[in-house]
Amino acid sequence: MAGDIKGTSRRVFEEIWNRKNPDAADELIADNYVHHDSSSPAVPKGVEGYKQFVRYYLAAFPDLHFTVEDEVAMGDTEATRWTVTGTHEGDLANLPRTGRRFSVTGMSIGRLENGKFVESWNNWDALGLMQQLGALPAAAAPPQAA
């Protein structure tokens, strides 16, 4: 079972995101899917909401690419640690295109039923993204001890 869950998760990253194919979500995301991500715009429930979410980020970052760093599965739950890179070539919320490259890390935990994701919780370095895009100042280095 764990291998099947990991395979489904990997397909989300590879087929939907890296191959830029939101329609692959029909095979991987359940009709009653719920997306939890406090760093992103609200995602409507269901597979169509997830496709809308994917299209939003692909419009802002057309060369976006996820690298799966680590995966763990237990029962009907899977966790993935990932890195995403890309170039800001389209508008993102209130931030017009900057043309800047970025690389941030994150983690996703998903729950599956009948071979499809029904819910996921996502946590990623949104602050780092905004700093790399120039929307926020980079953090100052802490003072050195004397």
**Which residues in 20-128 belong to E strands, given as ranges?**
29-36, 65-74, 77-87, 101-113, 116-124
Domain boundaries defined on the chain: 2-132
Residue 2: pLDDT band by 50, 70, 90 thresholds?
Answer: low
**Which residues in 25-100 belong to E strands, given as ranges?**
29-36, 65-74, 77-87
15-26 per-position pLDDT tens digit: 999 999 999 999
State pTM to two decimals.
0.90
- Residue 43's CB is within 10 A of a number of other CB atoms, namely 20
Residue 146: pLDDT band by 50, 70, 90 thresholds?
Answer: low
Average pLDDT over residues 76-102: 96
Question: Residues with Cβ < 8 Å from 124, sequence gap 6 or more?
Answer: 37, 39, 84, 104, 105, 106, 107
Residue 4: pLDDT band by 50, 70, 90 thresholds?
Answer: confident
2-132 CATH: 3.10.450.50
Q: What is the pLDDT of residue 1?
A: 47
Question: Residues with Cβ < 8 Å from 46, sequence gap 6 or more?
Answer: 29, 30, 31, 32, 33
- CA 116 – CA 29 distance, rounded (Å): 5
Residue of 71, 81, 72, 75 lying closest to 113 (CA atoms): 75
